[in-house]
Structure 1
């Protein structure tokens, strides 16, 4: 239920015609998430409550990411890539996630927006043109046109929330 509430709130904030201001969207989403984790932790005791609450929080964040990726970016602009910056992110410890690279493209678009596009893969080189989908209300980040599938985030949300539920269910039978 918490994931449905958080997803619905995020979807409304990202795409609703009467969405709240950004500060209220953040505050409301934060209260929903913290409230769900607090209730979970109060109802499930011990280590299961702690780790289940962490899994719940991660699942709720993944639900917000899925809502972000599912949000329509109704405008498309053909933009020139002025410069590409790459940043290698470190891996922490043995067995941690592998090093990854973040690409930040400085853009020249009609009307001046978007000016920057961030991606987890090389989408264009300096001097190339790229088609960028964006929300004219600027509620979600711009993305390469056709590159916003919510399925990966939704799958992670499902796995994390199922693990959290399994931990909570295990305390009922214990």
Structure 2
């Protein structure tokens, strides 16, 4: 005989991805832009507890293959939420900097096609000395070129080219992954005793 679910249990579990995303978003927002944010170690540890705790709660509530895949989708969706939050966090200062050095590194891709990707890191000379570098520059710039940079004067966020921090890809990934986790939770079947 199949065990009865408590009334309202399925909608509550299906709402877990949205609730977890709201908590992770609030935590990340505070860590990236709060007036008195925690230290980086506490920020990472707190984020890890939230992501792993929500994933474990989901897996225990849903169970079976749906619980495993749903927990995986939930964890990836929460990490995408953090990435989208980081991209929308305020980088309050801008500066026009001169490229001092260009470092190029070729990374192999193990995905489809196996194409190599070149990543550029620029050492910068900026007014006031900050920021000192631009990681993952979108394209190579020659030595001596000027580039406009947006940065966080507290140093909590990495510098980006001015106007380049677009959160659309991680935000859409987060929505898709969290929706998949919610659908799996809403349509799960209770295991037979």
Scaled by the length of structure 2, what TM-score is found?
A: 0.83
Check 1:9–1:126 CA distance in 2 against 1; reply closer, same or farther (3 A cut): same
Say if 1:86 and 1:102, in contact at 8 Å, map to a contact too.
yes
Q: Which moved more, 1:145-154 or 1:112-121?
A: 112-121
> How many angstroms does 1:111 deviate by?
2.0
Match of residue 108 from structure 1 = 125
Say if 2:102 and 2:140, in contact at 8 Å, map to a contact too.
no
Q: Distance in 1 between matches of 2:180 and 2:107?
A: 28
Structure 2, unpaired ranges of 5+: 1-18
Q: Distance in 2 between matches of 1:24 and 1:163?
A: 30
Q: Distance in 1 between matches of 2:79 and 2:55?
A: 12
> Is the partner of 2:156 in helix, strand or coil?
coil
Say if 1:69 and 1:148, in contact at 8 Å, map to a contact too.
yes
Structure 1, unpaired ranges of 5+: none
Say if 1:80 and 1:130, in contact at 8 Å, map to a contact too.
yes
The answer to whether the aligner puts 1:132 opposite 2:149 as a matched pair is yes
Match of residue 174 from structure 2 = 157
Q: Distance in 2 between matches of 1:74 and 1:120?
A: 19
Equivalent of residue 10 in structure 1, options 28, 31, 43: 28
> How many angstroms does 1:117 deviate by?
0.5
Q: Distance in 1 between matches of 2:178 and 2:62?
A: 15
Match of residue 53 from structure 1 = 71
Moved over 6 A (4+): none
Aligned-residue CA RMSD (Å): 1.9
Counterparts of residues 17-166 of structure 1 (less than 5 Å): 17-92=35-110, 95=112, 98-119=115-136, 121-122=138-139, 124-166=141-183
Describe the superposition over 1:4-55 as per-residue Cα deviations: whole angstroms up to 9, x where unpaired.
1101110111011121222221111111111101101111112221121111
How many residue pairs align between the two structures?
A: 173
In our comparison, the structure showing a higher alpha carbon Rg is 2
Say if 1:101 and 1:121, in contact at 8 Å, map to a contact too.
no
Describe the superposition over 1:54-108 as per-residue Cα deviations: whole angstroms up to 9, x where unpaired.
1111111100001100001001111111121222221225x36753322111111
